[in-house]
Amino acid sequence: MAGSDHPQPKKAIPPKPAASAPRKPLQVMHISRKTEEELLKETTTNKSEQKQSNSDIQTGLKNPKTPVEIVSPSKTYSSGNKQNDSDISSDEQNLSMEDLLKSEFKSNKLDRNNNFSQADQPANNSYKNRVVDDYDFDEDAFLAALDETEPIGNTGEIAKGSVIGVESDGIYVDIGGKAPGFMPKKECGLGVITNLKERFPKGLEVEVLVTSEQNADGMVTISCRALALRQSWEKVQKLEKEGQVVQVKVNGFNRGGVTCDLEGLRAFIPRSQLEEGENHQSLVGKTIGTAFLEVNPERRKLVLSEKKAATAKRFSQLEIGQLVEGKVSSIKPYGFFIDLSGVSGLLHHSMVTNGSIRSLREIFDIGESIKALITDLDPGRGRIGLNTALLEGPPGELITDKQKIMEEAEERAVRARNTLNQEKITKKDILNEEKENNSTETEIKES
């Protein structure tokens, strides 16, 4: 109130904001940048110093006795500058490069030994004295382990085993692996097998061919059929090489020929190779003799011929020195072709007569029947060499008295055979003599 004696309290005056503290001046980082000239100068200086040091070392190596400056690492300042020459002993100054290298090698070796602390060593104290011979190694056990892990049954390999199980889709055979081999039903043999349990009872020993290697379970795929086919091809190839005539039964036909089975293999006989090619359907169910035209296991191609079989059969009835009778089928500039009941022989012009002739037609005509000796026989190539000159008495007799020679051919053939046998003996003697001479010359050269 205005009339009151007591003074009224003063209102609190808010403090004035403190003056802002003076800010510190910004600190500017000074980065000294060298000019390119200074950098280039320093690089050049460093390279020259390095070259100088290398040249000093090479000079010391070439001249081991040349004194070099020794700087002791323990006497250098922390700044990296070398100490004064006065701190280096006189003995160190007189060291040669050879002595320096030896001392440095010893110091490095000592440092390495010292740096190998006890903490780095193995806990087992016997490690230092442990040698390789202390470890056990059994070579037989190692080889046995390898044999156990070696896979049994590679593709194309023949294996033997016993039947351990028969299923509806195939059989299981123990061939010695960690898992049995499985043979599908269609691979159990040639032809159709209706009852597997009767054909493959448990415990039956079988020989199979591995057709597929081990799978993840260690099982291989095997086949009796593949093995039988391989053996059949091998047998057929042997028969072909020997030039054998085989008997086959015709079981089918088509437009090109007939089919048959041989050793479990399907064979084909073209119509051109049949004796009755015009009516080849009638041959189904009949057995005929055939020879081999083509045997190719890779392409599974087997081609037979009835006509070639007849030729092979005829060749089996012939031999060198035999007197045969045939008809002239054709005349060529080099000789006569003679038909010998299914096979053809060649009477070369040099084998007709020992006399001189102007034309072959002066001797024989086409269709004329003649007798001749066999002097060459090659069943593989189907060639027969004939000779009438051996039936002559005086040279050229065949030209003057051909009829007489043909009538006396049997008697003259006996004499001709003796001549041929004598020629064979003479040839053998000559060959044996040549062999003996060659062996003697070889022995003389070796001695």
- What per-residue confidence (pLDDT) applies to 196? 87
- Do 224 and 189 touch, CB atoms closer than 8 A? yes
102-132 residues labelled b (16+ CB within 10 A) or e (exposed): eeeeeeeeeeeeeeeeeeeeeeeeeeeeeee
Higher-confidence position of 292 and 89: 292
Domains with residue ranges and CATH for the chain: 147-225 (2.40.50.140), 243-312 (2.40.50.140), 318-424 (2.40.50.140)
Measure the CA–CA gap between 345 and 329, rounded to whole angstroms: 10
- What per-residue confidence (pLDDT) applies to 264? 87
Look up residue 337 and give its two tokens. Answer: 């072709």
Measure the CA–CA gap between 194 and 191, rounded to whole angstroms: 10
Question: What's the CA dihedral at 53, 55, 58, 60 to 10 degrees?
Answer: -70
Look up residue 16 and give its two tokens. Answer: 């004035």
Quick: pLDDT tens for 169-189. Answer: 899 999 887 778 899 988 988
Higher-confidence position of 166 and 30: 166
pLDDT at 280 exceeding the cut of 80:
yes
- What per-residue confidence (pLDDT) applies to 159? 87
- The percent of residues above 90 in pLDDT, for the chain, comes to 23
**CA 298 to chain CA mean position, Å:** 17
pLDDT bin (cut points 50, 70, 90) of residue 49 is low
- Do 263 and 205 touch, CB atoms closer than 8 A? no
- What per-residue confidence (pLDDT) applies to 192? 78
What is the average pLDDT value for the chain, to the nearest integer?
A: 75
**φ and ψ at residue 383, rounded to 5 degrees:** -115, 140
- What per-residue confidence (pLDDT) applies to 14? 56
pLDDT bin (cut points 50, 70, 90) of residue 150 is low
Higher-confidence position of 430 and 321: 321
| Strand boundaries in 297-432, DSSP class E | 301-305, 323-332, 335-339, 344-348, 369-378, 383-387
- What per-residue confidence (pLDDT) applies to 80? 42
Look up residue 193 and give its two tokens. Answer: 């097998």
| Strand boundaries in 240-322, DSSP class E | 246-253, 257-262, 265-270, 287-296, 301-305
pLDDT bin (cut points 50, 70, 90) of residue 412 is confident
pLDDT bin (cut points 50, 70, 90) of residue 286 is very high
